[in-house]
Every structure is written in structure tokens, then in C-alpha cells.
Structure 1
Amino acid sequence: MSYRIFTLFICFLFLFGCKPYETTKVRKNQITYESFRENQRTFPSEDGIIKYIDKGNGPVIVLLHGVPTSGWLYRKMIDPLVAGGYRVVVPDMLGFGSSDSPEGFELYSEQNHARRLLELMNGLGVDTWTQVVHDAGGVWTWELFKSQPNRIVNLVLLNTVLFDDGFYPTIQLQPGIASKTKMWSYRKGIATNNLFKKLFDEGLQQNKLNHLDVEGYKTPLVEGKTDALYYYYSETCNQLPDYRTTFDSIKIPTTVIWGIHDTMLQWPPQQLSVANSFDVKKENIHVIDEKHFLQETKAKKISYIIRDFLSSNKAK
């Protein structure tokens, strides 16, 4: 191996070999991605198979992920919510997690994601439910409200996409060969570590995830699931739809649980707009000492806030 090739190889390892997790010990009874997938069920949507968790009995709560995550993000919240007397549905949206990832672009539009979520809920025989949204799960939810405004009866906002003010995505791409090459590098495992290291370092106050945590985020990408990411990073992140009219039409109990140190979806620039648009009461705004991925470090706290919020509304 020539000196030049060797140097390039070392530079390659330095740039792309960084691990997106600390060398922390595996936690006791930690959930593995393999066991998570074993508990997922299958729904044949019009566009492909959607995998989802369906656990518990009682009023339904849907936990909706964003980009580039999946239902895995909520793995620590499922049991606490089930223990509170709820049926918890956690989908991997098409193109994410264990669900199918058919080739396409418009297939992953906000409208199509909303349509498929409605397909899933109709297939499960669920008429109304509480929706918990994070990150891009917000834009899919706003499209759902446009077509079926009466299906969601309670809303929980977790660091989700709302207004241009406060929206600072870590990744923004222009459509074309360069961005498609980046997606290829994620599928091949070349830049996947780099992607998640950047996201977790920016999205957590202290990135103490271990290899089992990260496995659930990385695996779908190296399995080839990047078309949905490409749409979001090259389309939605460059031209966020204006949903203010939709927000004003939403007249249901809403609570906000927000990681105050989030740099991707900042709370201060939009807090008044959110409170006014959704008519959120002061006691239903919960500012959490975390950044973007608050489900990783504050799962139980969030779950109990949601349970208290729903119990309070039920009592009324």
C-alpha cells in the first residue's frame, strides 16, 4: 500500500469511523433492537408494509417519531404508559425503522405519511386517539388534521416541527446527485456513524448512549432505508409548509413537553405562537432540562406528565 493510499485510508477512518455513542455499560434489562422488532406487528398499507407496536388496553395513545428515527425512539415510554391504563400504538412510518422502504420521492410527502397513518388506525379499528408527536411527526400530523380533524382528541407536542421561527434543522440538502450520494453513504455504513454522532451530540446534553441504543437508529439506514430521509432533508427542511391556519382550527386539549436546550427546534422564538395557536394553558407547558431527544433521558418523566394530562382532561 503506497504512502498516499495509506494516508487517505487513515483520514477516511478518522472522518467516518467515529462512534456515535460512549463506551458506557449496557444497562440492566436494556431493550435490544432485535427484541423490539420481535414485538412489532405488520400492517399492509396501500404503499407497503408498516410495522408497529400495539400494547396495552384502554384509551389509545399514538407515539409518532420523526426523522431519522423510528418507533425505537419511544421504547422506554411504552410500558409506563401501558401501566397507566392506556393502549399504546407506536408505528414505524413507511421508509423508517422496520417498515418497507419502497423507492420514490413524493411517496414520502407529508400528505402521504398522514394518509398511511389513517389507514393504520382504520385497520386497527381505532376511531379516536391521543397523538404524541416529535420532530417531523408534527408535519405529518398537521396534514392528518386537514383531512380528518376529529380523529385526534388530545395532542402532546414534544420538540416537534411547528413554525419557521425556531426551526433550525441540523441537515438541509439540495435535491440532486450530491445529496443522493450522501444517502448512499448512509446505506453503505460509510457516513452513518458520522450522521448519528452529530445528531446525538447536538441532540442530547450528554451523549451517554451505548451501542445497543444506537443499533436501533443505525440499522434501518444500513438496511437501505434512506428515501424518506432524502425527501425530508431536501424538501421539507428547505420549504416548511405554513400550517398556521391548521393550528388555529385545532380545538382540542394540548400539552407541550419541550427540551428547552434544543438547538434544532428552539422553544423561545415560538413559545407565544404555540401557546396562542393551540390555546395551551400555562400549566400544560412543561419545559424539560434536555435538548432534542428527550425520550432518551426523560422517558418516565414525560410518560407521567402525559398520564397526568390525560387523567385531568378525563376528569373534566
Structure 2
Amino acid sequence: MSSDPGEFSEHRIPRGEGSLYARDYAGAGPAFVLMHGFPDNLHIWDDLVPHLVTSGRRVVTFDFLGFGASDKPAGVAYSFKQQLGDLEAVVEGLDLRKIVPVAHDSSGMATLNYALAHPGSVDSAIMLNSAYSEDSTVLWPEMITLFATRSMQALAIAIAQSPEQLGWLLKWQQKKFLDSLPEAQRPHFSAFIGPLISDNFIAQPGAGPAFVQLAAEFFDEHARNAKHLTALKTLDIPVKLIWGQYDPYFPVAMAERRQSQLKNASLTVIPAGHWLQADEPAPVAKAMLS
């Protein structure tokens, strides 16, 4: 079980053919807007939120369209551009004005591209073990690579349409993350992160359609973002890179490379895995608030 994230107001924010589910935790200062990645939803932040709220800061979490409690309209083109639009809709819908976008996993795309598009609306940005413009030498999670490789997409879609096969693949991939963790952090992963990911896909309607489409353009999005690196280097916004050192796919070297691509970036390494906000929420919150 995760921590009780505390009291919040719930919102449905119109977004194209559906609506986004958002939670708003009252507080002061530029709101932390916490975004999830490929395989999960806003609940990955449940352990971290109490630490931020206790400090007096306003916190917003939301599910991207196609994930969690947000709508999952059939026939929608799910994309990283759409996810950037989701973030823009949340900011406008909640009248947030100045924010601190917080990325994890694949939401690094929305975080940095929002900062580029709306620099006046961003107080600072935070990235936790997240992707943006990595090159072809990176070893991504095998499940992502399968769905992102064009020559393998027929097989990938067939697997996605079989609950039994998809369930096996999810468990296999989860074990790779689990095995990289110290023994003390494994029980929480098994009790919380693993089931959260599985439920996100197995429960119907699930995140499968959104995941399949996003994964299919994953490599293309990295190539598009690589064209933004010159502009990113001139972006005068503080960026905190907070990284779990035991991540088997997003190594600290990735964070160091990202730091070199930014004008004003700091790096804090946490003894945790890919889901560091659940593994070690207190030190992650401390780094965010420092």
C-alpha cells in the first residue's frame, strides 16, 4: 500500500473528446505539477505528495488522457504532442499561472517542451529519471523497445491484444526493475508499484491503447526533441535533476548528459530505483524543496 496522499479537490478538465482527472492539494507558491510516465498513473506520487503538502506547497497531480481515471476515448490519436496539450489544459483549467512541472519517465517530454513553449509560466522544472532526447545507444526497457521498433509492431500489437501475453510481459519487465533494487526497497515495489502498473493495463478500459501509440513514436519523439537542444541550452530556468541510482535503464550518466545540455541544472542522486518517489519519498521531497 502507498501512503494516504491527504485531502485534495477533484477536477474534470475538458480535453478534446474526453476529460482529464486532476487532484489539487491546497498550498502556496508555484504549484508542483506532477506527471506520470508510460506504464502508470498519478498514484505513483502518492508516497511523495504528503511530504510536499506538509511543507505548505500547492501540489497538482493528474492522469494523462488514456491513463488512470482520465477518459480513454476510442479512436483518439495519443501522442507526446497531445500530452503537452494535456499539461497546458491542466494549467489553464486550474488557473495555475506559475508552475513547477515535475517529470517522471516519459513525461520528461512534456516538462521540457512546456518550459520551452511557456518560459514565463515556469518557475523551475524538475526531472526524475525521465527521458527527453536520448540517442540510439541507450538501452531502454525491453517492453518499450518492442513497441517502439517499427519492424516489431505487428508482434507488439498482437501481444497487447492478448491479456495473457501482455500480463506475462508486464511481469517480466517489472522483475527487471525489481531485481535492480536493494533488498530493503523490494517489498514496497512488489506491494505497490508492480500492482499499480499491472492494474493500469489489465483493468478495462485500460491504458493499453495510449501506451501502444505513445511507444510507437518514442524514438521519433527523441529525434524531434534533439532539434530543440540549442534552444534548451539558452533556457534560463532552473532545472533540478533528481535521479535514482539503481535504475537499470535510466542510469546516472543519462542525468549527467542532460545536465550538460541545460543552462542552469543541478543533479541530486538518490539511493533508489526508477520509481524513486515511491522508494525514497523523503529525500526526493527534500531535494525538490531545497
- In structure 2, the CA distance between the partners of 1:212 and 1:290, relative to structure 1 (3 Å rule), is closer
- In structure 2, the CA distance between the partners of 1:108 and 1:145, relative to structure 1 (3 Å rule), is farther
Structure 2 partner of 1:130: 100
Structure 1 position 205 matched with structure 2 position 181: yes
Give the CA deviation at 1:163. 3.3
Amino acid at match of 1:278: L
Contact 2:13–2:89 (8 Å) recurs in 1: no
Contact 1:163–1:270 (8 Å) recurs in 2: no
Equivalent-residue separation in structure 2 for 1:49 and 1:70 (angstroms): 15
Structure 2 partner of 1:195: 170
Give the CA deviation at 1:197. 4.5
Equivalent-residue separation in structure 2 for 1:295 and 1:193 (angstroms): 26
For residues 121-200 of structure 1, what are the structure 2 equivalents within 5 Å? 121-165=91-135, 167-170=138-141, 171-172=144-145, 173=147, 174-175=149-150, 176-185=153-162, 188=163, 190-192=165-167, 194-200=169-175
Give the CA deviation at 1:40. 4.6
The TM-score with structure 2 as length reference comes to: 0.83
Structure 2 partner of 1:230: 212
- For these two proteins, the number of residue pairs brought into alignment is 271
Amino acid at match of 2:210: A
Give the CA deviation at 1:93. 0.6
| Structure exhibiting the larger radius of gyration computed from Cα positions | 1
For residues 244-283 of structure 1, what are the structure 2 equivalents within 5 Å? 244-268=229-253, 271=256, 273-280=257-264
For residues 67-106 of structure 1, what are the structure 2 equivalents within 5 Å? 67-104=38-75
Structure 1 partner of 2:22: 52
Q: Which moved more, 1:222-231 or 1:72-81?
A: 222-231
Structure 1 partner of 2:282: 300
- In structure 2, the CA distance between the partners of 1:252 and 1:148, relative to structure 1 (3 Å rule), is same
Equivalent-residue separation in structure 1 for 2:171 and 2:122 (angstroms): 32
The TM-score with structure 1 as length reference comes to: 0.77
Equivalent-residue separation in structure 1 for 2:230 and 2:54 (angstroms): 36
- In structure 2, the CA distance between the partners of 1:269 and 1:116, relative to structure 1 (3 Å rule), is closer
Structure 2 partner of 1:217: 197
| SS at structure 2 position matched to 1:191 | helix
Give the CA deviation at 1:259. 1.2
What per-residue deviation string (whole Å, max 9, x for no partner) do you get for residues 193-222 of structure 1? Answer: 541442353265143234455333222312
Give the CA deviation at 1:53. 1.6
Equivalent-residue separation in structure 1 for 2:23 and 2:171 (angstroms): 24
- In structure 2, the CA distance between the partners of 1:270 and 1:255, relative to structure 1 (3 Å rule), is closer
- In structure 2, the CA distance between the partners of 1:245 and 1:101, relative to structure 1 (3 Å rule), is farther
Contact 1:95–1:101 (8 Å) recurs in 2: yes
Contact 1:92–1:99 (8 Å) recurs in 2: yes
- In structure 2, the CA distance between the partners of 1:212 and 1:199, relative to structure 1 (3 Å rule), is closer
Give the CA deviation at 1:190. 4.4
For residues 10-29 of structure 1, what are the structure 2 equivalents within 5 Å? none
Taking only the aligned residue pairs, the percentage that are identical comes to 20
* Alignment root-mean-square deviation, CA: 2.6
Amino acid at match of 1:95: G
Give the CA deviation at 1:237. 3.6
What per-residue deviation string (whole Å, max 9, x for no partner) do you get for residues 26-71 of structure 1? Answer: 6xxx448xx99x9753222223121122112112111111111111
Gaps of 5+ in 1: 1-25, 309-316
Structure 2 partner of 1:313: none
Gaps of 5+ in 2: none
